[in-house]
Amino acid sequence: MHRRPVQAVMAVLALLVLGLGGFVLAARLGAFSMPLAELRQRYETPHSRYVRLDGVDLHVDDRGQGPVIVLVHGHYQSLRIWDKWADTLSRDYRVIRIDMPPYGLSGPDITGKYSPQRVEQLIALLAKREGLRRFSIGGISTGSAIAMRYSLQHPNQITSLILVNAPLVPIAPRLQPKTSATLAFLENNLFRPVYRPQAFYRYLLGRLIANKAVLTDDLVRQTWDMHRKPGNQATLDQFTSALRFEASDYGKRSQTTAQKLGSVRVPTLVLWGGAGSMLPLSVGCDVARTVGRPGTVMISYPGAGHFLPIEAPGAAQDIAWFLGDTNTNIGDNAVKKPGSRPPFGRQEACH
């Protein structure tokens, strides 16, 4: 009497298993990927160009004239995170942004090397190709470590360093970002090995962005699309494994990075959005205090989170203020110099 209901349940379960198996197979075969040419057509900027460097078609957005600023994005980002800052800064500066492989619209690296160190090599090659003798360099999140190390490796090139929400110091366990057991399970068993749906990026951005007014459907779609390049999952895993800090091990490997930060000798600006669930303001002050050059400037933006260039577009004014005054030694002693204050954010005295 009960055989038919049991058989029906078993049939449904079998269909679910087959459906899931088909989905996994399709995802691994790239059924949900987006061709690079289509991504470029959709997301290039009016200033996009591609520079062939050591086997990589590096996507570069190059705009403005004047002193040069090179900007490096972070994990789960592309050069588009700098859009609003680039619009402001390019009025007085030449702003060069890159999509570091494997992110954004840059092509595959024929060397098969995907790591922060490889990005540093590509920046050096780009600087040589473009004849950049002296320039400022800035980075956000993971990109801040790349910018910091580049400044140490090329001290004769770098005039100043800009660190945005930079996890470059050890972070106390109570301050480290928390991940639920459910999300960790899904990440390890579904999202990373199989497929990250658009909903994953909406959740991720919701955690990283404190100013919810900028968390738009377009931003979520752009972030999702940028991670749908054919083969992107494998190259992204390779890059992530090479990071000094990962979300699952946040700050525990950063002692050597902090020591390098203590060797920085160029004028340094630290910008921080401490709202939300990522890195509180106290971590930013730790970063500012660790920088080897005295007088590092620290500016915070209440209400903004980890995607600071999107959440606080006006912070670009503070970068221009800092760079414009560096030659008059504001970079050396900004906190103590009366009457010199950033025009947009709040300068912190991180004693």
Q: Where are the domains positioned within the chain?
A: 1-31, 38-175+244-348
Q: How far apart are CA 296 and CA 331, in angstroms?
A: 7
Cβ distance 207 to 305 under 8 Å? Answer: no
Q: Which residues contact 269 (CB under 8 A, 6 or more apart)?
A: 160, 161, 162, 163, 296, 297, 299, 318, 319, 322, 331
Residue 269: strand, helix, or coil:
strand
Profile the chain (351 residues) by mean pLDDT over runs of 10 residues: 58 51 44 88 98 97 98 96 98 98 96 94 98 98 95 97 94 71 61 75 93 97 95 88 54 70 96 86 94 94 96 98 67 48 94 69
How far apart are the two ends of the chain, measured CA to CA in Å?
A: 78
Q: Which of 22, 126, 80 has the alpha carbon at shortest distance from 222?
A: 80
Token couple for 100? 């570091």
**In the prediction, which pLDDT does 91 show?**
97
Query: What are the angstrom distances between the C-alpha of 30 and each of 42, 78, 249?
Result: 19, 21, 29
CATH label, 38-175+244-348, candidates 3.40.50.300, 3.30.365.10, 3.40.50.1820, 3.20.20.70? 3.40.50.1820
> Can you give the C-alpha Rg of the chain in angstroms?
22
Is 271:47 a contact under the CB 8 Å cutoff? no
